[in-house]
Amino acid sequence: MFAAYTFLYTLGLCALAPRALLHLLTGGKYGTALGARLGRVPDHLSRCRGAVWLHAVSVGEVHAARGLIPHIRVLLPQVPIVLSTTTPTGQAIARTAGADAVFYMPLDLPHAVRAFVEALQPRALLLVETEIWPNLLRACHRAGVPIAIVNGRLSERSARRYARLGRLWSAPTSMLSAVCARTGTEAKRFAAIGVSPDRIVTSGNLKADAEALKPPPQLGTALGEALGLDPERPLIVAGCTMDHEEEKVLRAFRRVQERHPSASLLIAPRHPERFDEVEALVRNAGFACRRRTAPSDGIADVLVLDTIGELPAAYGLGDVAFVGGSLVATGGHNLLEPAIQRRPVLFGPNTDNFALLAEQMVSAGGGVRVTDAEALAREVSLLLDEPDRRHRAGQAAYEVARRDAAAGMRTARVLVRMLAPSTS
């Protein structure tokens, strides 16, 4: 199975090679830290042997890791923690997550992952959400390193896809020492794809760890001053928006301004490489626009948050939040960040990545599902019309987010039990 996987994986890399070369020459994401991706271990990892190794692909997974790292520190205070990511945006957030070292994950090629395992000699490998990389798992398994999936996320569609692989997938999943699933439903899905039920724990959602998610109040204050926000103007925050979604948000905002002419909008695109594109979209739509990093040149109706890591604080400055990736078919993004700030959470119909949480938000009255730009405009306007309703919805969203706030400690305890044979 591993030979076939490596062959197909290598073919895929070859197909991407021209694009990777272009990114290398232009400083794009595929060319970042090319040496590390090919197996050259950064020198700074030499001081972290015996670490707990957390791997988080990008921004969302790093936020989950942030909900776990403080709890590992409490239970294993002498053990270093290292954090790897795949994307540059994830790497930028990871540098604020409190790990002892941050680095790029190597490609899942036998020699590349083996070099990192040999250099780090990790005490455990924790894969955030659903990062099943067969060669990495095999390298750790051969080295006697226990492996766990934490904040395990598995949609119904992904579970069906893994199940179709049958025995081909049984080899890597059999190497997992533990799976900490977000929900009972996802725990059952992991069992259905071959993970032994006695290795599965329902631990809750790491992203709901309030202390990890909620930024210090002074960050919000500083951001508001930098943006030149007028507290008398209602603010709508649209976070993690995707390609072809900003146009819908801007159409909705135009309708909102018909009822609330003083309202302003802050858009935070999911991917930094789209900052320029989104600014152009805003200006082409006829709105006065200002970017977070640009000098203030008067009042703007639409602000573009072109920084990394400030979105949680931005949600706290808004009156109403819309979470992107949901009016387009990408599965939706983190609903917890605005909820922990006690803001009503609006989202579109595509929430496969947070299906149960979206249902809980709607049932509790803290979340509102909208189908299109017209519905988004209508619901935002209603919430701006009624401050008491807006407050109640925000509090309801917060209560849903708080339900899983102990997920970090539950997951850390699973890690300690997993390590018990090697630490006793």
Q: Catalytic amino acids?
A: 61
What's the CA gap between 169 and 154, in Å, rounded? Answer: 15
Instruction: Tell me the pairing of strands 147-152 and 235-241.
Output: unpaired
| Neighbour-count burial for 373-411, b at 16+ CB within 10 Å, e otherwise | bebbbbbbbebbeeeeebeebbbbbbebbeebbebbbbb
SS3 state at 103 = strand
Helices marked H in 194-242 — which ranges? 210-213, 217-227
What's the CA gap between 190 and 246, in Å, rounded? Answer: 35
Task: Answer for the pair 279, 266: CB distance below 8 angstroms, yes or no.
Answer: no
How many CB atoms lie under 10 A from the CB of residue 183? 20
What's the CA gap between 95 and 74, in Å, rounded? Answer: 20
DSSP 181: E
- Strands, sheet with 367-369, edge to edge from the N-terminal-most edge strand: 289-291, 302-304, 264-269, 235-241, 320-323, 345-347, 367-369
What's the CA gap between 131 and 54, in Å, rounded? Answer: 11
